[in-house]
Structure 1
């Protein structure tokens, strides 16, 4: 496989449509990313329009993983935290196309998000993932600590409840104070 490249995504119609395709595919295949199956394409498009508009305002960063000209994955770094939490950021919506999983794209996206978080003077990253079919093993490999599990947190895309696992990681200059 050619080398995966990572870039910040903009609010172009082409990017929005590619992200929407990715979201619909992930949900159809059981990805627990806040949506139910079947996910109508207009709903996916509206989600990404809203998310990319927030990115344009600096409230988040939406990153894309590319194989040449094909968008194969994305992750969002949420930067707009409450006033008493300016030191943290949250990882959201890590998604990889089914045919590209287990090839390093998710890890590359996570490393890029962490680098951007440090550039924004963040010292703590948090995230959550579904108990079933989630990316727990990836997060542990990347140095995240499991804080706990909340049972029956959300509906799975095809129905039924799943728990969520909460993770955190100290990043940047304050690593020595762990």
Structure 2
């Protein structure tokens, strides 16, 4: 596989075009054990419904959706910035669903997605970003290397796709 990967923000008028490809990435990640809000077995319809909702959020301006595409324009990764926040938090956004297909890992795609996400946050006037991730997972190292500040851990916060409990670590970053 070539290392040529393009990171870009999906525009509102094209968001629905990526639902199928993003569903493939989500299914791969959940089947690979990622705790990203879904349980096994994950159905294609569940994944499609999730991404249709995300696409609608992009159209409404509530989310920024970034994708990583390989040299064949296959989506191999994604991350979201949840822009819609309460009235007293217009400066904040949540990072959601950092996903990289298993066949494309170990190529700095997640790191590049996060840099692009921070640029998108600045463009949107967001200065505080918040995320959560599985404690002791691979993503923690990514966030720490990128300068994210650990806030704390909540034991048994979520379930892994197989039903086992997992702790969740919360992070923030000022951009």
Name the TM-score, length of structure 2 as normaliser.
Answer: 0.94
Instruction: Find 1:149's aligned residue among 146, 153, 162.
Output: 153
**Unaligned stretches of 5+ in structure 2?**
none
Name the TM-score, length of structure 1 as normaliser.
Answer: 0.92
Corresponding residue for residue 87 of structure 1? 91
1:126 aligns with 2:130: yes
Corresponding residue for residue 35 of structure 1? 38
Corresponding residue for residue 4 of structure 1? 5
Alignment RMSD:
1.0
CA contact (8 A) 2:132 2:168 kept: yes
CA contact (8 A) 2:33 2:161 kept: yes
CA contact (8 A) 1:144 1:168 kept: yes
CA contact (8 A) 2:16 2:52 kept: no
1:90-129 alignment to 2 at 5 Å? 90-129=94-133
Instruction: Find 2:55's aligned residue among 52, 57, 71.
Output: 52
**Unaligned stretches of 5+ in structure 1?**
172-178
1:159 aligns with 2:163: yes
Structure 1 segments, 4+ long, off by >6 Å, are: none
Aligned to 1:149, what secondary structure does the other structure show?
strand
- How many residues align structurally? 170
Aligned-partner Cα distance in 2 for 1:132–1:38: 24
1:169 aligns with 2:173: yes
CA contact (8 A) 2:3 2:107 kept: no
